[in-house]
Amino acid sequence: MNSFLTIEGVSTDELSGLLDLADEFVDVLERPIPKVPALRGRTVAMLFFEPSTRTRMSFERAAKALSADTMSFSPSTSSLSKGESLKDTALTIKAMGADALVVRHKSTGAPWRIAEWTGLPVLNGGDGAHQHPTQALLDALTIRRHFGTLEGLRIAVVGDIRHSRVARSDVGAFTTLGASVTLVGPKTLLPVDLTGWPVEVAHGIDDVLDHDVVYLLRIQKERGGASVLPSLSEYVRRFGLTRERFDTLPERSVVMHPGPMNRGVEIAPEVADHSRSLVEPQVANGVAVRMAVLFRLLGGEATDV
Amino acid sequence: MPEVMDSGDMNRAIRRMAHEVVERNEGASGIVMVGIHTRGVPLAHRLANTVGEIEGAEVPVGTLDIGLYRDDLAGRPTTALAHTGMPVDLDDQTVVLVDDVLYTGRTVRAALDALADLGRPRVVQLAALVDRGHRQLPIRADFVGKNLPTASTERVRVRIAEIDGSDGVWIEEAE
């Protein structure tokens, strides 16, 4: 494999190896000069066909901290708006000398197609409601750095599971690393078919307030997540992590969120800013895991990731 | 496969190198031993312990993985990174870089780049258990355990007890 497209099928050893590598990059990012020459002369192109702030900036930062050059592309100002096909766009960027592509697209599978067409290493930066593998890595790294291991932890993922590529990817990474996962959400926001998901299901956040990690997802209005809810206040009543609920969590439990947050909906503002919220470490660790993946794919003859 | 150093030879060489480090630096103060992964690390610990015994001082040991600084990354399989860590701030310290075999000098070149990103030592010196020649860069060692003339077709194998279970240095014909 010379691309990083999905967390599915990645073994425990491979995942742990990537997290070990990312741990070293966390150290690099904390140095006075947070930059190493590992990918000097390589070019990473960012193809974000769907809006993104943190993922795109995080990949840019990761590439630059490895001394790679970056090129960026945004659909609204590009020839896509003149009707150029996805394939032509990808091949054009390849012809400009990109060595790897980071792709985000609203359609499931788009990064695979682009990898086929271009033959370049492709990093999936999120495809539709399908996969977001570097998010899963950064979440796993954040939990591992906090608890030391994922083995035996109980992790609750709460919210709009059906439309969430984060949930899909996180479940894969967390369970591969030995945690047990409970999915929590209204029936309308859980996947229709949960066969093959190695998870338990609960229908109210009150059922998981004894878990080690409460991972909150955003209601995805752009993917129709809000339309299936009776009302936001009804959602908060059953699924929101309010201050009162937070106070009943065990001392060792932590709260996570992939961002962007709807403060006051899935997470109370003071919970988001609490010292047991790992939201900020998640963002910082995102840069380190993306460095790890870029280094694995471009740092030599790419072997298995 | 002739053995060119056995365990006793290695111990004596390390002891002599430790004395040379102390002599050159007029003591142990300000010295940080920095081992280059993999086999430079246990060697750095042994040198630090011996220098420490001679001077009655504690000599800090750092570790350096040069994987992010190589000039030959393309074309070699990427391995995991070992831990890079310095126990003290390197600014104005005397860093003694330690590696098992000094050959082309490219590893040392990479290590110097890596060090420069970690701090600004007052001086950097180089200790190598074996200097086998064939330099491709203008780099030389300050402290050498054994000068070992080799053909570039030969390979030098170093075993260190902490990693390999026993000590010794061999020359092998490359296949």
Find the CB nearest A37 among B68, B78, B84. Answer: B68
Please indicate if any CB of chain A lies within 8 Å of the CB of B137.
no
Question: Is pLDDT of A301 > 70?
Answer: no
Residues in chain A with CB shorter than 8 Å from the CB of B78 are: 295-296, 299-303
B80-105 pLDDT, tens digit per residue, is 789 999 999 999 999 999 999 999 99
| A17/B81 Cβ within 8 A | no
Alpha-carbon torsion (A102, A107, A111, A113), positive or negative? negative
Question: Is pLDDT of B71 > 80?
Answer: no
Edge-to-edge strand ranges of the sheet holding A199-202: A199-202, A180-184, A154-158, A213-216, A254-256
User: Do A153 and A161 contact (CB within 8 A), yes or no?
Assistant: no
Residue, of B77 and B108, whose pLDDT is higher? B108
A230-248 pLDDT, tens digit per residue, is 788 889 999 999 999 999 9
| Chain A residue with minimum CA distance to B114 | A36
A188-222 pLDDT, tens digit per residue, is 899 988 888 899 999 899 999 999 999 999 887 66
| A24/B81 Cβ within 8 A | yes
What confidence score (pLDDT) does residue A304 get?
A: 35
| A21/B81 Cβ within 8 A | yes
Give dist(CA B113, CA B106) in Å, integer: 11
Residues in chain B with CB shorter than 8 Å from the CB of A302 are: 78
* pTM of the entire predicted model: 0.90
What confidence score (pLDDT) does residue B79 get?
A: 64
Stated as kind and residue range, the H or E segment containing B117 is helix B106-118
B148-161 pLDDT, tens digit per residue, is 999 999 999 999 99
Give dist(CA A220, CA A104) in Å, integer: 16
Give dist(CA A192, CA B39) in Å, integer: 55
What confidence score (pLDDT) does residue B34 get?
A: 98
| A27/B117 Cβ within 8 A | no
What confidence score (pLDDT) does residue B78 get?
A: 59
| Chain B residue with minimum CA distance to A33 | B117
C-alpha distances in angstroms, A277 versus A27, A156, A212?
A: 21, 14, 12
Mean pLDDT of all residues in A132-147: 98
| A295/B78 Cβ within 8 A | yes
Residues in chain B with CB shorter than 8 Å from the CB of A296 are: 78
Residues in chain B with CB shorter than 8 Å from the CB of A1 are: none
Compute the radius of gyration of chain B from its Cα atoms: 16
| A38/B117 Cβ within 8 A | no
| Backbone dihedral angles phi then psi of residue A186, each to the nearest 5 degrees | -65, 150
To the nearest whole Å, the CA of A252 is away from the closest chain B CA by: 28
Give dist(CA B40, CA A63) in Å, integer: 30
What confidence score (pLDDT) does residue B173 get?
A: 85
- Lowest pLDDT segment from A75-79, A275-279, B10-14: A75-79
Nearest-10 Cα torsion for B133, B134, B138, B142: -10
| Backbone dihedral angles phi then psi of residue A36, each to the nearest 5 degrees | -130, 155
What confidence score (pLDDT) does residue A305 get?
A: 33
| A38/B68 Cβ within 8 A | yes
What confidence score (pLDDT) does residue A267 get?
A: 95
State what percent of residues in chain B have pLDDT above 90: 88
A141-154 pLDDT, tens digit per residue, is 999 999 999 999 99
Please indicate if any CB of chain A lies within 8 Å of the CB of B84.
yes
- Residue A179 tokens, joined: 């945690």
Please indicate if any CB of chain A lies within 8 Å of the CB of B73.
yes
User: Do A132 and A152 contact (CB within 8 A), yes or no?
Assistant: no
| A27/B85 Cβ within 8 A | yes
Find the CB nearest A299 among B78, B85, B119. Answer: B78
Question: Is pLDDT of B1 > 70?
Answer: no
CB atoms within 10 A of CB B41: 25
Which is nearest to A167 in space by CA: A219, A210, A118? A219
What domains can you pick out in chain A, each with its CATH number? 12-132+283-298 (3.40.50.1370), 133-278 (3.40.50.1370)
| Chain A residue with minimum CA distance to B68 | A38
| Backbone dihedral angles phi then psi of residue B57, each to the nearest 5 degrees | -140, 165
Banded model confidence at residue A1, pLDDT cuts 50, 70, 90: very low
A173-186 pLDDT, tens digit per residue, is 999 999 999 999 99
CB atoms within 10 A of CB A20: 16
Please indicate if any CB of chain A lies within 8 Å of the CB of B64.
no
Please indicate if any CB of chain A lies within 8 Å of the CB of B77.
yes
CB burial string B122-146: b at 16+ within 10 A, e below: eebbbbbbbbbeeeeeebebbbbbe
- ipTM of the shown complex: 0.83
What domains can you pick out in chain B, each with its CATH number? 3-73+84-173 (3.40.50.2020)
CB atoms within 10 A of CB A208: 23
CB atoms within 10 A of CB A27: 14
Question: Is pLDDT of A226 > 80?
Answer: no
Residues in chain A with CB shorter than 8 Å from the CB of B69 are: 36-38
Give the per-residue SS3 of chain A. Answer: CCCECCCCCCCHHHHHHHHHHHHHHHHHHCCCCCCCCCCCCCEEEEEECCCCCHHHHHHHHHHHHCCCEEEEECHHHCHHHHCCCHHHHHHHHHHCCCCEEEEEECCCCHHHHHHHHHCCCEEEEEECCCECHHHHHHHHHHHHHHHCCCCCCEEEEECCCCCCHHHHHHHHHHHHCCCEEEEECCHHHCCCCCCCCCEEEECCHHHHCCCCEEEECCCCHHHCCCCCCCCHHHHHHHHCECHHHHHHCCCCCEEECCCCCCECCCECHHHHCCCCECHHHHHHHHHHHHHHHHHHHHCCECCCC
Mean pLDDT of all residues in B17-38: 97
A89-125 pLDDT, tens digit per residue, is 999 999 999 999 999 999 999 999 999 999 999 999 9
- Residue A120 tokens, joined: 């370049």
Give dist(CA A19, CA A134) in Å, integer: 11
